[in-house]
Structure 1
């Protein structure tokens, strides 16, 4: 029973961290439980992807697909508090406007958004909406499930490399190796997402392309940002999630 309570609290903490879904008193914080929540990122992403797929299906019963897609993205932004998109905007401003690592970090701390951040958000959300609007409904639903699960799993894997910079920030205390349990849970989430995509009609080849592009795009981003500031921040990791999700959708569209 104590172990089950720990697991339930960890899942609640992960859900609370990655979304604005109320979890009530289930998210019982302890430093040990907090350190283990990246293990659940992939599964929480899988759940969010299933919600997004259901929202898209529901929207399609009333509206044309482009409208349903935009409404789905809007509702998911509200559900997650635009956490990762905020990170993308801040990271884009920091990387684009900071000539030195110190200046880049200073810009990322600034709550104001600059031109690089605006452009990054327009491009990312525009690409996501365009890709989903181009896909058949069942494929778009499967792509959402895959994109949400894979992009959160990538965040967990990045945190597990232990390169988080800030002594006080969103990712403080989370940058520990995933361990066997974390790898198992993350792998299970990815397999479940692939299975969900297959059940919704996504070809295996399309999902493999999507996984490759998602991994490659996020890896390139993390390499560039780490070279710039010598580590990760909550903003750069949030940007990695958005980049990975967008690349995943592009990969599915590439198979059409």
Structure 2
């Protein structure tokens, strides 16, 4: 039976592995690493989102003190992309190419594996970045840092929910270490991390943001199930990007109806 100390060290190790897998942040070297250890790292995906959101929010806040808001937003976006190595943006582009250009499951998966970006992927990437920028510059300056933190967290929980509800459809790939069925307790833990930052926001626009995330999650999950019978790592990245944008849009809708 594991002691509290050994349990703490085990979870700390998993968190460090998650940081190393999902970001470019430096982490301590961990001896005797096994790829299978990342199976339990998905529970920390939203926590990594909080970390990325905090850094992006801090950079936005600092730059906004000395430069125009639009420059601060762009700088914050660049920072988040750099911190993750464009991990999720790459997934969005590959998923758009595959789902847009493939006729059947095997063709979609083959296109997703191609390292070259196609027209669907390029358009999806440009439109996603443009949408983020336009949405963010229209959110109130004082609340924007908290919106960033919440969006990065909840969008990563949306990706975790895909892992919980669907099957991985490749025999190998960049998400293979995470491609196991999560337990209910792991999903709950991820949900706590994913929804906790919502407490920083006013409830009306926050609720609209969550509803927008749910709507996009249901739509894209249905598309993955219908086209692929499950998900790939690229699909998780696409889900994160789409639901992050959805949260910004839902949050901003309140400004128009209030």
**Alpha-carbon distance, 1:7 to partner:** 0.7
Q: Which moved more, 1:156-165 or 1:100-109?
A: 156-165
**Alpha-carbon distance, 1:235 to partner:** 0.7
Q: Structure 2 unaligned runs (5+)?
A: none
* Match for residue 23 of structure 2 among 19, 24, 28: 19
1:61-210 residue pairs with structure 2 within 5 A?
A: 61-195=65-199, 197-198=200-201, 203-210=202-209
DSSP 3-state at the match of 1:167: coil
Aligned to 2:39: 35
Contact 1:160-1:175 at 8 Å conserved across structures: no
Supply the distance in 1 between the matched residues of 2:55 and 2:62 (Cα, whole angstroms).
11
Q: CA RMSD in A?
A: 1.6
Aligned to 1:244: 243
Aligned length: 251
**Alpha-carbon distance, 1:32 to partner:** 5.2
- TM-score normalised to structure 1 length: 0.93
Supply the distance in 2 between the matched residues of 1:50 and 1:176 (Cα, whole angstroms).
29
DSSP 3-state at the match of 2:231: coil
Deviation track 1:158-185 (CA, whole Å, cap 9, x = no partner) reads 1122411111112214233332431332
Contact 1:151-1:241 at 8 Å conserved across structures: yes
Q: Which moved more, 1:113-122 or 1:44-53?
A: 44-53
Contact 1:161-1:176 at 8 Å conserved across structures: no
Supply the distance in 1 between the matched residues of 2:254 and 2:27 (Cα, whole angstroms).
38
Contact 2:150-2:195 at 8 Å conserved across structures: no
Contact 2:153-2:195 at 8 Å conserved across structures: no
**Alpha-carbon distance, 1:31 to partner:** 4.9
- TM-score normalised to structure 2 length: 0.92
Q: Which moved more, 1:22-31 or 1:105-114?
A: 22-31
DSSP 3-state at the match of 1:24: coil
Supply the distance in 2 between the matched residues of 1:29 and 1:59 (Cα, whole angstroms).
39
DSSP 3-state at the match of 2:132: helix
- Say whether residues 1:44 and 2:43 are aligned partners: no
Supply the distance in 2 between the matched residues of 1:121 and 1:155 (Cα, whole angstroms).
18
Q: Structure 1 unaligned runs (5+)?
A: none
